[in-house]
Chains A and B, each alone.
Chain A
Amino acid sequence: MTNNALPRGFEDLAEFVPDWLHATEIERNRFRVAQPLAELKRFYNAMMPRLDGISSFLNDFPLHAMPRDCANLLELALMTMEVAPAVEYYNNPDVPESVEYEKFDILPVRQKYTVVESNPNTNE
Chain B
Amino acid sequence: MGFDTDTSINTSARLNHERFPELSTGPVPIEPYISEEFFARERDAIFRCMWLLAGRMEKIPNKGDYFVKTIEVLNTSIVIVRGQDEKVRAFYNVCRHRGTNIASGAGNCKFFTCKFHGWVYDTQGNIRHVADESQFFDLDKTKLNLHEVNCEVWNDFIFINVDENPRETLAEQLGEIGVQLQDFPFPEMRVAGNWGATLNANWKLFLDAFQEGYHVATVHSGTINEYFTGARNPYCRPSSVRLYKRNRSLSIPFNPEFKIHKSEEFAIRTGESLSQGVAGLTKKVPGVNPKNDEYFSFDVNAIFPNWLLDTSIGFFFIHEFWPIDASTTRWESTMYFPEPANAGALISQNQSIALLRDAFREDIATSEGSQAGIMSGSLKEINFADTEIPCRHLYEVVTKMVNGEW
Contacts and interface: CB of A to CB of B under 8 A. Distances in A.
Contacts of A82: 350, 354
Given A55-B344, A77-B343, A90 B223 contact: yes
A89 B223 contact: yes
Contacts of A81: 263, 267, 347-348, 350-351, 353-354
Contacts of B353: 25, 81
Most chain A beta-carbon neighbours within 10 Å: one of B194, B198, B358: B358
A97 B347 contact: no
Most chain A beta-carbon neighbours within 10 Å: one of B263, B350, B365: B263
Interface string A64-76: 0010001000100
Interface in A85-103: 85, 88-90, 92, 95-99, 103
B364 interface: yes
A1 interface: no
A51 interface: yes
Interface in B325-348: 332, 339-340, 342-344, 346-348
Interface size, B (range): 35 or more
Interface in A103-124: 103-110, 112-113
A61 interface: yes
B355 interface: yes
Interface residues of A, number: 42
Contact of B346 (A63, A70, A96, A110): A63
A63 B343 CA distance: 6
Nearest to A91: B222
Interface in B128-175: none
B221 interface: yes
Contacts of A108: 194
B284 interface: no
B347 A89 contact: no
Contacts of A92: 222
Nearest to A113: B346
B197 interface: yes
Interface string B356-391: 011101101100100000000000000000000000
A6 to B, nearest CB: 14
B287 interface: no
Contacts of B359: 95
A27 interface: no
Contact of A107 (B196, B199, B223): B196
Interface in A13-29: 25, 29
B192 interface: yes
A76 B54 CA distance: 35
Most chain B beta-carbon neighbours within 10 Å: one of A56, A61, A112: A112
B364 to A, nearest CB: 5
Contacts of A40: none
A74 B332 CA distance: 28
Contacts of A77: 343, 347
B261 A84 contact: yes
Contact of A105 (B196, B261, B270, B358): B196
A110 B191 contact: yes
A2 interface: no
Contacts of A97: 219, 221-222, 362, 365
Interface in B194-209: 194-199
Nearest to B342: A59
B195 A104 contact: yes
A73 B362 CA distance: 31
Contact of B263 (A88, A107, A109): A88
Interface in B212-255: 219, 221-224
A58 interface: yes
A97 B361 CA distance: 9
Contacts of A89: 222-224, 261, 355
B19 interface: no
Given A66-B343, A77-B347, 16 more contacts: A55-B270, A59-B342, A63-B342, A63-B346, A74-B343, A74-B347, A78-B347, A84-B351, A85-B355, A89-B224, A95-B359, A99-B361, A104-B364, A105-B196, A110-B191, A112-B339
29 contacts: A25-B354, A29-B357, A48-B262, A48-B263, A52-B266, A54-B343, A58-B344, A59-B342, A59-B344, A63-B342, A66-B343, A81-B267, A81-B350, A81-B351, A81-B353, A84-B355, A85-B263, A85-B354, A89-B222, A89-B223, A96-B222, A98-B362, A103-B199, A104-B361, A104-B364, A106-B357, A109-B192, A112-B192, A113-B343
**The 7 residue pairs across chains A and B that have the minimum distance between CB atoms:** A58-B343, A84-B263, A98-B361, A55-B344, A81-B350, A88-B261, A95-B358
Interface of B: 190-199, 219, 221-224, 261-263, 266-267, 269-270, 332, 339-340, 342-344, 346-348, 350-351, 353-355, 357-359, 361-362, 364-365, 368
